[in-house]
Amino acid sequence: MVILCFSLPSEVWAAEEESAVKVSAKAALLLDAQTGQVLWQKDGYEQLPPASTTKILTALLCLDIAPPDRVAEVTAQAAAVGESSAGLLAGERFAMGELLDAALLKSANDACFALAEGAVGSEPFFVRLMNLKAAVLGAAGANLLNTNGLPAEGHSMSCYDLAVLARVAMQNPNFAARVGSVYGVMEGGSYNRKLKNTNKLLQMDKHITGIKTGTTDAAGACLVSSMERDGRSLIAVVLHSGDRYEDSLRLLNWGVDRFVNCCVVRQGQVLGAWPTADGEEIAVQAATDLWLTLPVDNGTPDVELRTEFAWCKLPELSPIKVGDVLGTVYFYGDEECLGQVNLLAAAEYQPSRWQMFWGRLTGEVK
């Protein structure tokens, strides 16, 4: 077994860390975009109205289904969607990419409806697909009733749901380029429309890379934001915030300054040995690299990691091939599991003929 330790023990993440960040938001969460670890949260799993941050999933699903150069015609129903809009007119034709710009930069509700119709022909059907995609990506608490986040009873997501979706979305270069742009333009339709990103955080800090605002009376001021600084990439979510930009900057900068990403296991690294029925041992190695986000103190990781091994139950005298999964090693910081790696056989094992003969006599091998 391998035990990896870093200086002094620490709760993950300790109560003292919770008090280290003050935000005005009703709910907030900070996620490391590389490892997917939650670094801090305040009611981060409570289901709340997400307002226009809903459009993150709308755009992500649309990019999966329809190419940006596909042309969509605006229907009367799409043009009638109110509140924040791009002023789309029935019969106008736009590339899906232009509608994505309108949805993500200007936060246009009518563009979201037009995107759904252009992608699958129907907004209700598109919304069904949104809920399925959210569940598949790990945002299991999401319950979406429309594509734009306009108030609807039961339309909700948690900060964690939004952070998970944003993490995936930002891995799509087409999405990331759009939400990282301050300006855009729609050249289709009956006239050119200039777009300006509603996310003011892009102009407040050069390290901000996105992504989406949201505002309704029920949801309050919301923001899902991302930062890349000092080799780190983080995502912050604040819902019903008194100052969404300051809350987000405070969280993102704190996350960069107080944590570090460490590769604690390398692919192919031998981490233990599998005991065979005849007393032999087979070395087991890590199936993948494992990166963990750990708190730091004066630049040094400040948490003790302990490992627990869970071995697969195989029939007695089973032959083993190189690469067979023989178990999993779990890495814990205090009582929280931070990550896991499958353990693969580094060598093959074949029971002797005598062992197989004896096993058949005793009923161990059939």
**Res 357: pLDDT:** 54
**Res 361: pLDDT:** 58
**Res 313: pLDDT:** 84
**Res 15: pLDDT:** 41
Give me the CATH code for the 25-241 domain, please.
3.40.710.10
Contact in structure between 224 and 161 (CB atoms under 8 Å) = no
Contact in structure between 328 and 6 (CB atoms under 8 Å) = no
Coil, helix or strand for 128? helix
**Res 60: pLDDT:** 98
Handedness of CA 108, 114, 118, 121 (dihedral sign): positive
**Res 11: pLDDT:** 36
- The identity of residue 266, as a single letter, is R
Give the span between the Cα atoms of 102 and 114, in whole angstroms: 11
Digit-by-digit pLDDT tens for the chain (366 residues) are 343 433 333 334 434 445 568 999 999 999 999 999 999 999 999 999 999 999 999 999 999 999 999 999 999 999 999 888 999 999 999 999 999 999 999 999 999 999 999 999 999 999 999 999 999 999 999 999 999 999 999 999 999 999 999 999 999 999 999 999 999 999 998 899 999 999 999 999 999 999 999 999 999 999 999 999 999 999 999 999 999 999 999 999 999 999 999 999 999 999 999 887 777 889 999 999 999 999 987 667 777 899 999 999 877 667 889 999 999 999 998 778 999 999 999 999 887 665 555 555 565 555
**Res 351: pLDDT:** 73
How many C-beta atoms lie closer than 10 Å to residue 51's C-beta? Answer: 29
C-alpha distances (whole Å) from 72 to each of 69, 89, 207 are 9, 12, 35
Give me the CATH code for the 263-362 domain, please.
2.60.410.10
Closest CA relative to residue 282, chosen from 297, 270, 293: 270
**Res 301: pLDDT:** 75
Could you give the residue range(s) of every CATH 2.60.410.10 domain in the chain? 263-362
Strand 193-196 with 220-229, pairing? unpaired
Could you give the residue range(s) of every CATH 3.40.710.10 domain in the chain? 25-241
**Res 57: pLDDT:** 98
